[in-house]
Chains A and B, each alone.
Chain A
């Protein structure tokens, strides 16, 4: 679809707002609807749109497959790390009050970030894998 001028221009206009909306859903999840899962999927949808319009090579230059695969594990490790931090401080696993004052706020922010990173990375990784499957010569 690289030769479609209208699609390219519209996608370029839309993409910043899709990604910005993903971050809004991620970091505003404490106050409005949303959270890590929704934000991760919206972010991945932005990457999917970019890949559809500009091709797999350009997308893999923007977000490399190895970084996406690392993000899959990093998100869950961040989540578990917040829990382990509580254990180190002598509190139960995943007790955010161990994070200090406003511990609940910080804990929820961090674990939601972990969820968002894992979900967006899984979606992007799976999408890359499918796209490579289609692109491979028969």
Chain B
């Protein structure tokens, strides 16, 4: 077992231990701290899986901003979980079955680092990599005579070469997100905007209620 595999194993064990601690903890302040630790461990794990973009986001959002917002929420409400929370065997069964189905679903996924997995050697990935001027992975089952990188597409029907759309930016993630999927990313930005205004609207409503009192609602007047 290589050093990196040992690190991944240790991080996964720590993630499991943290989630058990979160489930057993009744102090919401401790739960908030533990979820921050969970995010930091998750970010380290994603970095080991060569996903630095996701790792930066998880570290900044999961461990940073959301922890702060949760702390602010606790300061505005309470940091103790209700002691009389009911324990349901049905809920445990549903969670166990759902978790089992998810684990079962991962069994069909390609082995980590498999060069023939669709996400690596598929036609779409090859086109993305070529447009970012990155080395295109070769499929083991490439037919003779088919140019390298043509992948599952094979040779073009008219005997020429596929035209590669050159974006010319080395980061493939940025190429895909900002150029190929520009519409998609614009929609995501709109989602962030909408979520921000939604939170503002909810908080503004709760502030108004506090100053005027619940009974100030005209619908509740006798």
A85 close to B (CB within 8 Å)? no
B206 close to A (CB within 8 Å)? yes
Cross-interface CB contact of B60 among A45, A93, A114, cutoff 8 Å: A45
A34 to B196, CA, bound (A): 22
A23 close to B (CB within 8 Å)? no
B153 close to A (CB within 8 Å)? no
Binds A, one of B27-35, B50-58, B86-94, B98-106: B50-58
Known: A75-B189, A105-B169. A29 touches B197 (CB 8 A): no
With a cutoff of 8 Å between Cβ atoms, the chain A residues found around residue B173 in the complex are: 33, 35
Within 8 A of B (CB), among A1-58: 25, 29-35, 37-38, 41-42, 44-45, 48, 52
A50 to B183, CA, bound (A): 34
Number of B residues, CB within 8 Å of A: 46
User: Looking at chain B's contact residues, is the secondary structure mostly helix, strand, loop, or mixed?
Assistant: helix
B73:A136 contact, CB within 8 angstroms: no
Cross-interface CB contact of A33 among B56, B206, B207, cutoff 8 Å: B56
With a cutoff of 8 Å between Cβ atoms, the chain B residues found around residue A112 in the complex are: 174, 178
A25 to B52, CA, bound (A): 11
B193:A122 contact, CB within 8 angstroms: yes
A42 to B167, CA, bound (A): 27
Number of A residues, CB within 8 Å of B: 51
B12 close to A (CB within 8 Å)? no
In the complex, how many angstroms separate the beta carbon of A69 from the nearest chain B beta carbon? Answer: 8
With a cutoff of 8 Å between Cβ atoms, the chain B residues found around residue A44 in the complex are: 65
A114 to B189, CA, bound (A): 9
B196:A72 contact, CB within 8 angstroms: yes
A125 to B64, CA, bound (A): 16
In the complex, how many angstroms separate the beta carbon of B12 from the nearest chain A beta carbon? Answer: 22
Known: A48-B64, A105-B168, A127-B69. A136 touches B210 (CB 8 A): yes
A109 to B173, CA, bound (A): 14
A127 to B72, CA, bound (A): 9
A41:B179 contact, CB within 8 angstroms: no
13 examples of A-B residue contacts, CB within 8 angstroms: A31-B170, A33-B55, A33-B171, A34-B52, A35-B173, A96-B179, A107-B178, A108-B167, A119-B192, A123-B65, A126-B196, A127-B65, A127-B68
Q: Which residues in B have some Cβ–Cβ distance to A below 8 Å?
A: 52-53, 55-57, 60-61, 64-65, 68-69, 72-73, 75-76, 166-171, 173-175, 177-179, 182-183, 185-186, 188-190, 192-193, 195-197, 199-200, 203-204, 206-207, 210
Q: Which residues in A have some Cβ–Cβ distance to B below 8 Å?
A: 25, 29-35, 37-38, 41-42, 44-45, 48, 52, 72-73, 75-76, 79-80, 83, 93-94, 96, 102, 104-105, 107-108, 111-112, 114-115, 118-119, 121-123, 125-127, 129-134, 136, 138
